[in-house]
Amino acid sequence: MKIALVGNPNVGKSTVFNALTGSNQQVGNWAGKTVERKTGYIRRDNLDIELIDLPGTYSLTAYTQEEIVTREYILREKPDVVMAMVDASNIERNLYLVLQILELAPRVVIGLNMMDLAKSSGIILHTTELARAFNVPVVEIVAAKGIGIEQFLAEAINVGLMKEDPVIREVPYPAELEEKIQAMETLLKDTVWASKYPLRWLALKRLERDQEIGQEWTAISSSDSSKSRQRDSCCDSGDALKYRLMNAAELPGDDLLRTFEEEGWTKDHFEMAFADAKYNYISQILPKFLTQEALKKPSRTDSLDRWILSPLWGYPIMILVLALVFWASFIASAPLGNAVSQGMAWAADRLVDLLQWVHAPVFLLSLIRDGIFAGVGAVLAFVPQIAIFFAFFSFLQDSGYLARAAFLGDRLMQLMGLHGKSFFSLVSSFGCNVPGIMATRTLEDPKDRLITMLLNPLIPCVPRLGVMSAVVAAFFPGTRGAMVMLSLMLISLLLVMISALFMRRVVNQKERSAFVMELPLYHLPTLRNVLLPTWHKTYTFLKRAWTFILGASIVVWVLSSFPQGVPMNLTWAGKMGGWLEFIGKPLGFDWKIMVAIVFGFTAKETTLSTLGILYGVAADASQSIAQAMTGAMSPLRAYTFLVVYMLYIPCLASVVTTYKESGSLRWTGFGIAYNLILSFIVGWIIFHGGLALGFR
């Protein structure tokens, strides 16, 4: 059985999806789209179920990619049943999407989520009356507490197994509008479309001059015209062929639409009339199943928003929240990271002892200790930092705070000429640039999306911040270290602002799109809803550690170990570094730093593992990589390295993601070149400016 899960953004779809599927799910992209596809697999009562979590959308009008994906899936894949999630605390707006779904799929189950929040807001819903009004089952849910989820699925299974489709009550349109709908239905009932789509829905879309439907008909007509062209070249005159090709561009109902347009019924008029009719219908039936009680005191959301959205207190609160996240991720997690490092060192020693006992060759001992464990071990020490950051991010997103932060961040985005939704993407990049780049999908304007995509690599991700914090701790201990990290963050922010203004000129984005966003109610996320996405993201990082980083560590070890018996600077890595040293010399970098920067392209974490191998840290487990660097670099060179490392080309995964999301090799290459040039220019200014001021 195939079940589709549909709803507005922030209605709790992901919570229900994760609760039903657990870890038995696959995440990918919809074919030809940059919209995430989540598929889960369930088994109930000897029935195998494929659950599709469709992207959150407010309507099925086919303006955004989310709307197109959701509509196309329901129309073409024809799921056995649609589970329509509704926010019970904002039911009037949510039911608009439900009415659109019912025009496409008769087998629907409504899930009223956040019933507890609705009751706390004084909203009393009579589900029996709601079910009678729409003639579909309705289930009360509190997804955050796991209440009603299994009943929701059970009702969906029952509806999916029905032998006949239920009779759905149609939206009553005004008489004049109904007359036009029926006239279009009459014209379309004998077309190919009518055999593929619900006739009434098809008539509504033609009256709205829906582009997706028009493009599909044009494709069919072009195919038919191609076949006709082959026949006509043998059997027909040129005039006959020309006549057929002219008619191929004509869509069924175009003549009727022109007649309606002469009467003043344009595309926009029809869209507004249909939307008004749906909302009027909802307003008429709403009193039958909803009662609003007067509240004795403001709701929790209203009370919190007085502080959190306040121009006076909102920004200090946001700074404190972000400071807490970074403190927990990079300072509080330090003992856990040290424990991982010590555990890896202990495991390396035990394994080497075992291999020595069986008289393994020396090169194998070196590969395991100085290559694999030195490289991968240095990166695994970041896992606590990454896990804690993603846990905080999931908590803030699920609680409703992150939407408020984006609202506050919109003013900062305005200064940069960016859209307010860019805030989501840029903040996500602190965890990892890959999900940050993918988060640009929420931006409707392609140019806004591209600009934000190109800015993402300027935000230091957790792996980069981990490397930076290790270097800062070695070269700038104590309070100086905190000031250095703060200065690096300010440099990043300043360059993002300058680059945003520059990118707007390059991309030729002249107008700034309006930022309209729904603020969800606050609620306390469950432990499961925080840990599950945290695990998925951390697991992705771990998987990369055993692919990119393991491979890179072995390659670096080979390059730095052969030819054997020669000084490090005469190995293959040393020779490669010698070729690159002339590039790094103006910045004060030696060949080891340049090799580490190059290998950092595979994954930013490999910079630390490469330095560990090149500085021979694994041979002396008591010596940290950063401490080894202090003997080879001055504080000024270290600070220059930190700036260049923070800004230079994004990792391979980010580059691939940028190409997939933008679909442009040219813009992907531009982004790489921009970051590379910018990082070395800023690094050169800092290094030579520092020398001029007397720093060393």
Phi first, then psi, for residue 45 (nearest 5°) are 50, 50
CA 624 to chain centre: 35
Annotated binding site for GTP: 7-14, 32-36, 53-56, 113-116, 142-144
Residue 234, judged by CB atoms within 10 A of its CB (0-12, 13-18, 19+), counts as exposed
d(CA 656, CA 647): 18
Give DSSP secondary structure letters for 105-159.
Answer: -S-EEEEEE-HHHHHHTTEEE-HHHHHHHHTS-EEE-BGGGTBSHHHHHHHHHHH
Whole-angstrom distance, CA of residue 115 vs CA of residue 88: 6
> How far apart are the C-alpha atoms of 353 and 485, rounded to whole Å?
40
Helices (H) and strands (E) in the chain, counts: 34, 9
**Which secondary structure element, helix H or strand E, spans residue 349, and what is its range?**
helix 334-357
Q: How far apart are CA 247 and CA 221, in angstroms?
A: 9
CB 96 within 8 A of CB 278: yes
Instruction: Name the helix (H) or strand (E) containing 422.
Output: helix 422-428
Report the distance separating Cα 67 and Cα 442, nearest Å. 12
User: Which residues lie closer than 8 Å to 275 by C-beta, 6 or more apart?
Assistant: 96
In which region does residue 663 sit, left (phi positive, over 0), alpha (psi from -120 to 50) or beta (all else)? Answer: left
Detail the residues annotated as belonging to a binding site. Answer: 7-14, 18-19, 21-22, 32-36, 53-56, 113-116, 142-144
- How far is the C-alpha of 86 from the C-alpha of 113, rounded, in Å? 6
Q: Which two tokens stand for residue 125?
A: 């819903």
Between CA 571 and CA 560 the distance in angstroms is 6
Angular region, 673: left φ>0, alpha ψ -120 to 50, beta rest: alpha
DSSP code of 585? G
Indicate the pairing of strand 25-29 with strand 36-44.
antiparallel
Among 44, 36, 60, 34, residue whose Cα is nearest residue 1: 44
Q: Which segments of 409-449 are extended strands (E)?
A: none
In order of 120, 176, 567, the CA distances from 183 in angstroms are 47, 11, 87
Chain centre distance of CA 520: 19
Q: Give the C-alpha separation, 646 to 460, whole Å.
A: 6
What is the DSSP pairing of strand 290-292 with strand 123-125?
Answer: antiparallel
Q: What is the CA radius of gyration of the chain?
A: 30
Annotated binding-site residue numbers for Mg(2+): 18-19, 21-22
299 backbone dihedrals φ, ψ, rounded to 5°: -70, 165
